[in-house]
Every structure is written in C-alpha cells, then in structure tokens.
Structure 1
C-alpha cells in the first residue's frame, strides 16, 4: 500500500530512517523531533513532515499520541501529491483551527476503530491538499536544542512551571533564557505558554461537550467573555463556532 495511516504512541528515543515520507499530526501531548540536526517541537494545531531518507529521532512527552501517515511518494502521481509532500524538505506547518479540527476528528475515528483507517486516509490526503508548506526546519545549535527540549514540556499541566524553573532546566539565566527562547521558538515564554493553553482549549472543544465556561475556568480565566475575546482574536472565530465546525470568514 502506497499510503498507510495509524495512531501511534512514542515511548522514547529511537533514531532511524524510512524509505517513505512521514506526516505527523499531534492528537495529544507534544514531541521534540530531530531530523538530521533540524529540531522543532511538534504540538497541537500543526503538522510535521519527515521526508524519506532523512534520519530522525523523537523526544515525546509522556502523554504523546500522534496520527501518522506514511506515504510512498514515488508511487503516487504528481497530481495526487499535496504540496506539503512535494516540498521534499523537513517542515512544520501551523494549521487553521477548522482544518486541524478535521484531522483531529479523523484521528479520533481511527483510534476508536482501526478498520476506519482505509477510509480516513483518503480524507486525510484530501485535507492535506489544503495545507501550504510552512517553514522548513533548519539545523539547530546545541543551545537552541536545549531550549526546544525545555519548550516541549513548558506549559504542560495546570500550572506548567515558572519561567525561572524553565530557565534553570536549560542552564541559563532568565534574561538569557528569554532572549534565546524568543529567537529559537519565535515567541516569548509567556506567548508560547499561552499558545499551548489555547491548544488545550481547542482539544477540549473538539473532544468533549464540556461547557465553554468550564473550559475557560479550568484554564485559569475568571471571565468567560475575556476568554472568548482572546480566542476569537487568536483563531478568527469564537469557541462556539469552532465547536460547530465553522470555517472562519475571509479576513475574519
């Protein structure tokens, strides 16, 4: 079969290489991926590409769970290949919430019934046609790799730890940690933690029927309207619209 879809859990480091390309969709947790020295954290609302013949390794969080699509690129015609797979370079692409919600629901269907994988793989490949490749991964210096290792766990759980704790884990002073974190991840520690917070909000909206007010309170918001405003500002839609599966209006 030229395309295979599975739900996988990763237990730890296992450096290896494939003769096919691999697309990773995070369903739960996060994973630091090292592809021939090019390192990034793969977490909610994104898709990662590991092209064929690229040596790679993983450092997952304990709750890590991914939908993985293995694609024999050489066996598919050019028309069937999404742009993401034609790029041929390791990449990480942030997804619009409505599109990520589609992939997430497909992953949940396959996890509930593995026999659905053959049906889901065609929908996943169709969905990938809507994804434009994001930033290609670049080689990381050792200090940057330490930052990414910390970022993978930073913001997990109800508290997520302090910036001081994260800086100590990276072996850096707070001011140096802030500067290197922003340079490496593209966000400040506070912004990154907020992004993971909203990622968990999206998980709850997709996975559960919990009231939006309960989700907001559990994430530390005392004012539901503030949560709704920040959610809309970030995603271009309200939590209710995301839960219904709405697509954001152009420019919204």
Structure 2
C-alpha cells in the first residue's frame, strides 16, 4: 500500500462548495454521482461528471463546488487519518453529489529529474476511456459505494491506493511530463553524468566536491559543473543536498535510528548542520517530520 494515502467519502447537497489551499500533497477526486465544478486560478472551470477523476499532482489551490454561485467553505483537515466509515456531509438540501477524495503526501522538494507535472489531469471511467485498467478500478469503487459489504472501508482504501497509482501512470503519459522525462533520460544516458549520479546515490555519506566528482568521471571541474547543470537541471552539490535530505526522510520514516546517526549516514558531520539542511528542503525539522510520520494512518 502507498504510504500516507488517505481517502474520504463526501456527500454534498446543493448548494455546496469546498475551498482547498495549496498543500504539499497530491489530491484526487472521483465523482460517483451528480456533478462538480473544479476551479483553479488562471484556468477555465472543469465540469466533472459521474465516473470522472480529477488528479492534482502538485496540490494546487482550488475550489470544488456545484455552481459558480455557491459559496465555498475552507477545508481545514489534517494530512493524515485512519480509514473510517464516516462520510463527510456538506451543503444544503438540493441536488446530491457523491465524491471519493484521496490524498497522497508529497516530499517538499522532489528531485529535479522527476520534473514539474501539470496542475491537473482529468480522466474518466466511462466506455470511451483510453485506460481500461483505470476504468475498471473506477467501476470497482462505484460498486463498493453502491452496495457496501463487510470491510468496505478497507476495500475502498486499497482501491484508492490503486486509483492514485493509475492516475500517476496517466500523468506520466502527459506531453509535459514526457518532455521532462526525456530530459531525465538524456541525463542518465550521458556516461559522465550517469556515473556522477551513481556515485552520489551509492555514497551519499561521502564528502563530495565538484572537483572530486569531475575527476572521477574524467571531466574538468568547470566542464562537469556546466554539463551536469544543463542536463540535470541544477548544480551538482545542490542535487546532492536534496538527495541527502530525501534519503534522510526515508530513514526517519522507516527506522528508529537517532537523528544524529541518520545525519552521519547521509553525509553531515554535525546534527545542527543536518537539521538546517533538512528544514530548508522539507520545511520542518527532522524531529517534527518523524513525529508526524508516527501518527496513526
């Protein structure tokens, strides 16, 4: 199961509206019945019909409501929750809309090779769907909602996991993402840059310098720095700093090792310097990050 995927059922009756601030998490909405209007700044509103899915991979601020005249309420929920059968009910006494929402926590600073995806991707589970696997998952979700059975909460949680993965697949096929992936492939197919990335990934605790890396891959210091920045999207030591923090975040989530030990494992000589770097890239301290990850999910 994906880490920290949360799903929630929403039963809304017109007039209704939800206003979501930008969050460091991907968001997905599946309209089970009724209709919803998704609004993002600078874009035309998107009308979501039954079996339509909207995936917001960057957690962009948005409004979801039944009509442009409905006043949205600010959403102030947390980032983690345990699966629950409680359905969120909002709105008045008018037309009904049923929605399944899913949320997936994101790292604050993903590696640049992953690129910057579009704000929203919309796909459907109807007969015209270009992705039969996604359509089949949507059909399973709707069937479980229509006739709940024992352990439906857990079944829906797993289906939400699968639907998020399928949304990511569809996202990866978008032209903007394919262009960025192509750039990443160019970087990985360039022997000196591939070798430098491999060195940093394999020996994250090593005190790398640009000169050291350049020497190891057979380039001059200036030539290597320029080539790496052009192909990867940022300077070598900035990439290394982000990679170290990403690795540290995994260790904080998955082990009980002291912060000082993790700092050493990812190449920091002192805990204060590690704390500073971690907060710069993740937006919180290592201790707070670990405590948040230990909350029930």
Structure 2 length normalisation: TM-score?
0.39
Q: TM-score, normalised by structure 1?
A: 0.44
